[in-house]
Every structure is written in C-alpha cells, then in structure tokens.
Chains A and B, each alone.
With several copies, the nearest count.
Chain A
Amino acid sequence: MTVSIQREPIDVASEYAQLVGPQPDAAVATFTGYVRDHSDAHAVSQLELEHYPEMAQKVLMALGERAADQFGLSRWRIVHRYGLLDVAETIVWVGAVAEHRGEAISASELMMDTLKTDAPFWKREQGPDGHVWVASKAVDQHRRARWRSEEKA
C-alpha cells in the first residue's frame, strides 16, 4: 500500500473511500490529526512542518509495511502534510484494514506512535512570541517504546 507526503490538505473522505475500495475487509480503523489552536504553554496561530523528503518517504513506507506484517493488514495508507498549516487543518491521516477490529485498531495506533518519533518531520509553532520549534515529548517516546519489544532485529 502507499504513503503520501503532501503540501495539500488531506481529503479524509476521499482517502477513506480509496482505502476500503468496493469490497471492504471487515475492520477499518482510521486516525486523523489536526492542528491545535494551542500548545501546552501558549496560543498557536499557525504550524510549520519541515521535513526530510527522501528519508520521510522511506520511514513511512517501512512503518506501514511493518504494521501490515505485524497485524496482517490487507490494506493501509499513511498521509502526512508538510509546509505551512492553519489551525484546524489536517496534519496526518492513517488507515488500516484487517479481518478483525483489534488488528486494525492496534495497527493504526502503532503507525501513529511510531511516526511521531521516527519520521523526519519537525513542527514549528507560530505563537505570540514568534516561531518556536516543538520539543520532542516524553510521552511520545514512552508510547513509541511500547512497540519496540515486538520489533524484529
């Protein structure tokens, strides 16, 4: 299945329809992330997403393939934005299709937890005091670590 790294907003309805196709498998889980109007500390008016294109493409493909392998997905898709985003715009969308709900839901969670820490994207928030690079969060490292024991060597 496929990855899209794009400047354009994510068309969730279209992505969903393409993911499931005309004969859907039994279980479809999706996750969408949107730009918040605040961070922990201050208001946010815009979000800039810098990325490392070639590496991001490879990391997201490997991540989707790992999730498909681990959870027996029949279909999956990862879409990630870059560039300048307004509040309430889409940032990321993942979709996972499987025979059973547990597999689809866990795969979507694995994809999100892993791309947060492993995919080369960097967020810069436009707040009241100018641009601020977003710091990596301990909770994200912790959530990422939950999946590490199940990884292959």
Chain B
Amino acid sequence: MGITIKLFSSLREVLGESEFEFSLTELDSAVTVAAVKSALSQRGASWQEALNQPNLVHALNHKVVYTDAVVAAGDELAFFPPMTGG
C-alpha cells in the first residue's frame, strides 16, 4: 500500500525530507496513522524522536486526525508541530 508522507516546519528541517512516497507492504488493509508512525520510526533515532514528540499533529488528506485514523492507498499523511500562523 503506497501513501504520500509530508513533513513541515521543524520536522521537515530535522529529518531533511519534505515529501516522499511510502509503502507498507507488510501491513494488512486496516493501517492506522499510529502504524505508519511506528514504521517510519524504524528509520532511525531522529525519526523515532521527531514522530513521538508530545504535540505532534497528524493531518490525513488535509484534515487533522487522531492516531487511530485509518490510512488508505493514495492518501496524503502529513506530520508537523502545532501551527503558528496569523
């Protein structure tokens, strides 16, 4: 199953990536945001730390969601710190 991952702000900066395709072949069809986070966390300590910061925001297809939201093929999943616009 392939999805697009986007990273913004300090996450983008720390992890050195802003957008990439990500496949979760080993997982069954009911993949949650939490499962994607776990899979990405295995990329290394900086990923582990960045994706487990307490205020991390998850947006699935441009909508803020909790980690139990279910991800489908072709979705866009973004991770970022709390927003500071305005």
Contact = CB atoms under 8 A, between A and B. Distances in A.
Interface of A: 33, 49-52, 54-56, 58-59, 80, 91-92, 101, 112, 115-124, 133-137
Interface stretch (B31-39, B42-50, B76-84): B76-84
Contacts of A117: 82-83
Interface of B: 6, 8-10, 12, 55, 59, 62-64, 78, 80-86
Contacts of A55: 59, 62-63, 78
Contact of A120 (B10, B55, B85): B85
Q: Tell me if A's interface is mostly helix, strand, loop or mixed.
A: mixed
Contacts of A52: 6, 8, 59, 62, 78, 80
A70 to B, nearest CB: 19
Instruction: Please name the 9 residue pairs, one residue from A and one from B, whose CB atoms are nearest each other, closest first.
Output: A121-B85, A136-B82, A122-B9, A55-B62, A116-B86, A119-B85, A134-B84, A123-B84, A133-B10
A116 B85 contact: yes
A120 B8 contact: yes
Contacts of A124: 9
A62 to B, nearest CB: 10
Nearest to A31: B86
B80 A122 contact: yes
B82 A50 contact: no
